[in-house]
Structure 1
Amino acid sequence: MAEHKTTEGLYGPGTYTDTEFIPIPQDSRRLLKHLAQITPGFTKDTKILEDVEFTGSDLPILPGPIKAQVFVKRLTTLKVAVIHAMMGIVSKEILATKGIDAGRISIDTVHAGMYPAMCSLVAINGKTMVEMAKDGSLSKMGTNLEKGAMHSNHMRTRGWAIYATREKNVWYQVIANLRPHQFFEAYGIDDNAPVKNTDEAYELIKSTISQYSARELEHKNMEHGLCGQTVYSPAAWRSTMMAKALDRHPVIDYEKVVGSADLPPIPFPIVPKDNRPLAGIKVVELARVIAGPVLCALLTSLGAEVVKVQSPNLADPNVLQLSLTPGKYMHPLDLTVESDCQKLQKILEGADVIVQAFRLRSMKHKGFGLAEMVEMARKRNKGLVYVDLNCYGQEGTYAERPGYQQCADAASGCSYIMGKAYGFEEGTGVLPSLPVADMMTGALGALDVLLALRDRALHGGSYHASTVLVASNTIQLTQEFGLYPPEIVQKVQEIYNFAKMTPDQHMEDLLIVVLDGWRSHTHLLQNKEYFAHFEESPFGRDHYILGPLVKFENQSASPRWERSPSPYCFHETFRWSEV
């Protein structure tokens, strides 16, 4: 590969900025070759990579210097396009084992730029998510999963924000969690304080948080089992023991389970009238919020049969049931009840893939950890793929800590870079404008599953994949990826006129800023080619969500959703199909 020239330190310690702007389609092809070379199990045949065509505009469509759109936009456009291209390549390999020629693969990089906003790109009954939120109809859609955890009052809303600590130039990502009373009680803050708006709530919470150092906040959160994360620069994060532990693993991380090599190869099912790569594959989703549900939504688009097991006891943001559940069966089980645990065990016995996205090893305590499921696979003589999706990885001092996408943004340096790019004082964190870490981790996890299922079909065995939020962020801050120079960030800002982004803003605030920019200055949201349309759904008529990115020349094999999103616990009973 040609040398990729960057300037070091422009956005702070440990940052690398391109010396010349590379148009997104061209940059996507460059990074596809790079990731192919460093990914275990992925093809190294450059001729196969030429089967991918990247189309779209040269400039990113998201604010800030990170190339997530390429990766999912280079914090903005590159990463999404590249990972979905890799998914397309492995899907094509799978289809070949079934005698199906997928033809060439195409990825629209503008569509890829919209992917990080997938959870909010929803329209029902002629109203967008933003319109439904403003007129109150969003809260009446489906089931109230949030249970007042995030928006019942201004204090709880600003319980998810970045605050200055008592140390100069050190900021901290506070997360009140989906059980906010625990956070407010631990810090002695009244979460029902009579504040008039979110600005007053932020100032009231800041008056307490700013009394602590970052290390004191870390200790207090660990003591109480809470989430939170110091805002690091990329260099500061890379110097930590946790980052060094994570660096021992590839970002696309799957391997055959030791001792399972004698399990036989399992060919991919042949399903009449369904040429998608994962048709007939059975998946159990044990996840909530964004990353795990995105992973499994991508698998359903590829043809997999997914049952999302949901607890009646856990909160979840409301809008996600409208956007991240297409094609899934939504089945209620309470794992604090023995009879429901037995029901889950029966479902798992028929699964090819298990995705668990709770704290590392939390499923082990309920009898559904990796070792237990690998033993189940041995008894049935059919290997499985077990995915652990979490914030900090499989080893190291942080591994079992709870964490959300915002924690990954703070740890990796992404929030630091955004604050730097927007002109704030040194050390100030501002969240990336969209849930890039969540969305990228979901896509990386889907790629892990595709690679592992392909290997199971060719070589047998069971496989363990580890998909990590922080790793999804840190790879896009490497020198090989690079950041957009300030003049490109400014050019994008001039096109979309995004409103100001600040440390106090919640992810939903930032999503609305981006959607308003797109709506006011482009026709992106009116382009129906980018959306999946369901004439009717349990939520209403004309239900639109963002459609799959991967397109095959053989359209019958292309990803698609054949059933609309469904509400919480919609399917009271569940049984695997006879395939």
Structure 2
Amino acid sequence: MASVSVPESKPYSVPEESKKVLRDGLVNNPRHKTLPGECKDMLDYVEYVGQDQPRIAINWRFAESVASLKGLEAILINVLLSRKYGIAPQKVIINTDHAQLFFMSALLLQVEPAEGSPLQPTPIRGLTAKYAQYFPNGDLHQMASSFYRRAATNIYKAKDGRFFHLHGSLNPDPSIDALGLPRDRQDISADEDAWAVFAAKIGEQDAAAWDHLLGEEYRQAATICLSPAEYANSAQGKANADTGLYNVYPRRDPSLRAGWWKDSPLTSVRRPLAGLKVVEFTRVIAGPAIGRGLAELGASVMRVTSPNLADFSGLQPDLNWGKWNCHLDLKKEEDRSKLRELLLDADVVINGYRPGVLDKYGAGYEDVSKIAKDRGRGIIYVRENCFGWSGPLSHRSGWQPISDAHSGVSMGFGRAMGNDEPVTPVFPNSDYCTGIAGTCGILQALLEQAEYGGSYLVDTALDYYNRWLIEEVGEYPKQVWEHLWQRNGRAVFRHFHSMNYTIPRYIEMMKSQGIFDLQFFEIRVSKALGGLKIRAPKPILQFPPGTVELGYNVGTRGNGTDQPRWPDDAQTEVVL
């Protein structure tokens, strides 16, 4: 675990520490030795500003983490500007107070806000209802329809005293079935009563027995909660020990040119990824955040979902900015043909599904690489998962709270509050930050592809990010954490307090700290939603005027809004 020390004579500074993490934990990190050589020269072009003292009462240095990752993105954009457009590196400013809004952005959107009105964040539980009239509800299995079904996603204590994270995912039925419990209990009308049912059941067996039953036999997202040291010494932790935030695997081939790099008439310094066509197979946060990061730089992103698969529609208002959205049922031959037409013209594919799922439908890495070879132009294929791409758990599905519990992040948060038990650290931080990592991996692959040709595989994972957070970023120094915790009332949360419970309470804490400053927000308009105005956090990276302009070519929309074909003019918002 990273040890952060600050001399007694020198006060702590979030901007200064973010710069150190960018330098030492990213650019000069031996695990990231494949970064372009110019990256070290670009460090001084990233400037951090913001308040010195941390403001969110979480022991892990989340603000420094997201700000440094955005710094790496800025550096890679500068390398792209230099190589593709021949311009000098640009000074990029990152306000760390602004940057920390990134990992909670889904909670911060406001529809048709009155001018100057204060921000009213929405807890996760209320997101779907808030946007119901604009975004079709993708909750096909009523995952959160009752206190009882919501309780299928939580941490409970097993018979042997170990803690176990059960996760109902987008369909709690298989997890509940595995426990031998009824699928619903409409008679339960409080969180505490629902937790008690699941706690009693998990207490009947050891954690390892539940892990095998849920994770292997029922193939559900689940994990034994580990400490950071236990994770590092586990078989999966050792398998991930040498990974960076992402790994780029090249198949260099000068005969497979990087067509977008030279051929796109749309690309420019102003929108440096304009004309780059991206097919995105993702759900929930981490995968969609990768595609949104590319869209912010001008890329044309087509998100492909299925009308038969559940999705968390409350997240779409935030994560569907900059994307067209089409439905395809890949069990149908005609829809697989439509997908192939999209892939024939694509430059990047993002796959956020369980390992092996898309292989069944001709959309795995090898299939897409063959399409690229046959057309004579390389492709970049990104895979994002929970546990990583090697090791005994690589085949399992998982989500942000599962990775947090598995890697030791949750245990670290619980211990910081004085209890030897895991507590999910409030926000979907590892989700959003894995999204930045994936965007950076694609930028690096684009740079390599332009030089060497060929196709590239980029692997990233929630566990990769969390291992980096633990080892390279770490926790606040004890005196800084004590002051921060005291300032926020020394609130103590328990293992059974899920994000649905903690987020509303943290929102109230953050309001008192003035964190939701309107200077960090902008009004966007979505033509796809009839000109709806939405207040949302501004892009984090601040480039000089007249250079890179971050934003979105198309407005946010619900799944299945568009037809599965590339619009003729990728810069114009159209609902096909």
* TM-score normalised by the chain length of structure 1: 0.90
- The reply to whether residue 281 of structure 1 matches residue 268 of structure 2 is no
CA distance in 1: counterparts of 2:52 and 2:2, whole angstroms:
23
**For 1:154-553, what aligned pairs fall within 5 Å after superposition?**
154-168=147-161, 170-193=162-185, 194-221=187-214, 222-257=216-251, 260-266=253-259, 267-268=261-262, 269-271=264-266, 275-424=270-419, 426=420, 428-478=421-471, 480-497=472-489, 500-522=492-514, 524-534=515-525, 538=529, 541-553=532-544
- Tell me by how many angstroms 1:45 deviates: 5.4
- Tell me by how many angstroms 1:410 deviates: 0.8
What is the match of residue 8 of structure 1? Answer: none
- The reply to whether residue 104 of structure 1 matches residue 91 of structure 2 is yes
- Tell me by how many angstroms 1:573 deviates: 4.6
- Tell me by how many angstroms 1:357 deviates: 0.4
CA distance in 1: counterparts of 2:226 and 2:520, whole angstroms:
39
- Tell me by how many angstroms 1:548 deviates: 1.4
- Tell me by how many angstroms 1:494 deviates: 4.1
In structure 2, give the amino acid aligned to 1:92. N
In structure 1, give the amino acid aligned to 2:241. D
SS at match of 1:50: helix
CA distance in 2: counterparts of 1:227 and 1:27, whole angstroms:
34
- The reply to whether residue 563 of structure 1 matches residue 549 of structure 2 is no
- Tell me by how many angstroms 1:224 deviates: 0.8
Between 1:402-411 and 1:538-547, the stretch displaced more is 538-547
- Tell me by how many angstroms 1:578 deviates: 5.5
- Tell me by how many angstroms 1:15 deviates: 6.8
SS at match of 1:397: coil
2:72 to 86, 92, 99: 86
In structure 2, give the amino acid aligned to 1:470. D
Between 1:143-152 and 1:184-193, the stretch displaced more is 143-152
- Tell me by how many angstroms 1:528 deviates: 3.6
SS at match of 1:212: coil
Between 1:53-62 and 1:144-153, the stretch displaced more is 144-153
**For 1:116-135, what aligned pairs fall within 5 Å after superposition?**
116-126=103-113, 128=120, 130=122, 133=126
CA distance in 2: counterparts of 1:212 and 1:550, whole angstroms:
49
- Tell me by how many angstroms 1:540 deviates: 6.9
- Tell me by how many angstroms 1:484 deviates: 0.6
CA distance in 1: counterparts of 2:380 and 2:567, whole angstroms:
17
Tell me: CA distance 1:338–1:454, structure 2 relative to 1, closer, same or farther (3 Å). same
SS at match of 1:260: coil
- Tell me by how many angstroms 1:324 deviates: 0.6
**Deviations 1:434-483, CA, capped at 9 Å, x for gaps:** 111111110000000001011111221111100110110011111x4331
Tell me: CA distance 1:43–1:511, structure 2 relative to 1, closer, same or farther (3 Å). farther
**For 1:38-49, what aligned pairs fall within 5 Å after superposition?**
38=29, 39=32, 40-43=34-37, 46-49=40-43
In structure 1, give the amino acid aligned to 2:556. P
CA distance in 2: counterparts of 1:149 and 1:393, whole angstroms:
29
Contact 2:280 2:304 in 1 (8 A): yes
- Tell me by how many angstroms 1:103 deviates: 2.1
- Tell me by how many angstroms 1:531 deviates: 3.7
**Deviations 1:514-548, CA, capped at 9 Å, x for gaps:** 322222331x3241434453376617743122221
CA distance in 2: counterparts of 1:111 and 1:519, whole angstroms:
14
CA distance in 1: counterparts of 2:313 and 2:489, whole angstroms:
29
Contact 2:21 2:473 in 1 (8 A): yes
SS at match of 1:552: coil
In structure 2, give the amino acid aligned to 1:396. G
Contact 2:267 2:274 in 1 (8 A): no
Tell me: CA distance 1:284–1:134, structure 2 relative to 1, closer, same or farther (3 Å). closer
What is the match of residue 150 of structure 1? Answer: 143
Tell me: CA distance 1:272–1:134, structure 2 relative to 1, closer, same or farther (3 Å). closer
CA distance in 2: counterparts of 1:499 and 1:143, whole angstroms:
37
CA distance in 1: counterparts of 2:323 and 2:488, whole angstroms:
35
**Deviations 1:80-109, CA, capped at 9 Å, x for gaps:** 111111111111221221245562111111
Give the paired residue count: 552
CA distance in 1: counterparts of 2:553 and 2:212, whole angstroms:
47
SS at match of 2:173: helix
What is the match of residue 23 of structure 1? Answer: 13
CA distance in 2: counterparts of 1:364 and 1:261, whole angstroms:
26
Tell me: CA distance 1:250–1:305, structure 2 relative to 1, closer, same or farther (3 Å). same
Between 1:263-272 and 1:375-384, the stretch displaced more is 263-272
**Deviations 1:41-69, CA, capped at 9 Å, x for gaps:** 233654321011011111223222111xx
**Deviations 1:277-319, CA, capped at 9 Å, x for gaps:** 2111010100001000011111100110000001111212222
CA distance in 2: counterparts of 1:393 and 1:470, whole angstroms:
6
Contact 2:85 2:269 in 1 (8 A): no
What is the match of residue 57 of structure 1? Answer: 51
CA distance in 2: counterparts of 1:118 and 1:277, whole angstroms:
24
SS at match of 1:319: helix
* TM-score normalised by the chain length of structure 2: 0.90
Tell me: CA distance 1:30–1:15, structure 2 relative to 1, closer, same or farther (3 Å). closer
What is the match of residue 33 of structure 1? Answer: 23
In structure 2, give the amino acid aligned to 1:289. V
Contact 2:523 2:533 in 1 (8 A): no
- CA-based RMSD: 2.3
In structure 2, give the amino acid aligned to 1:61. R
In structure 1, give the amino acid aligned to 2:508. D
Tell me: CA distance 1:314–1:555, structure 2 relative to 1, closer, same or farther (3 Å). farther
Unaligned runs of 5+ in 2: 114-118, 571-576
Between 1:90-99 and 1:18-27, the stretch displaced more is 18-27
Contact 2:270 2:546 in 1 (8 A): no
CA distance in 2: counterparts of 1:65 and 1:89, whole angstroms:
28
What is the match of residue 116 of structure 2? Answer: none
- The reply to whether residue 575 of structure 1 matches residue 566 of structure 2 is yes
Between 1:106-115 and 1:480-489, the stretch displaced more is 480-489
**Deviations 1:29-50, CA, capped at 9 Å, x for gaps:** 1111111122122336543210
What is the match of residue 70 of structure 1? Answer: none
Contact 1:116 1:439 in 2 (8 A): yes
In structure 1, give the amino acid aligned to 2:238. K
Tell me: CA distance 1:526–1:211, structure 2 relative to 1, closer, same or farther (3 Å). same
SS at match of 2:283: coil
Tell me: CA distance 1:201–1:48, structure 2 relative to 1, closer, same or farther (3 Å). same
SS at match of 2:37: coil
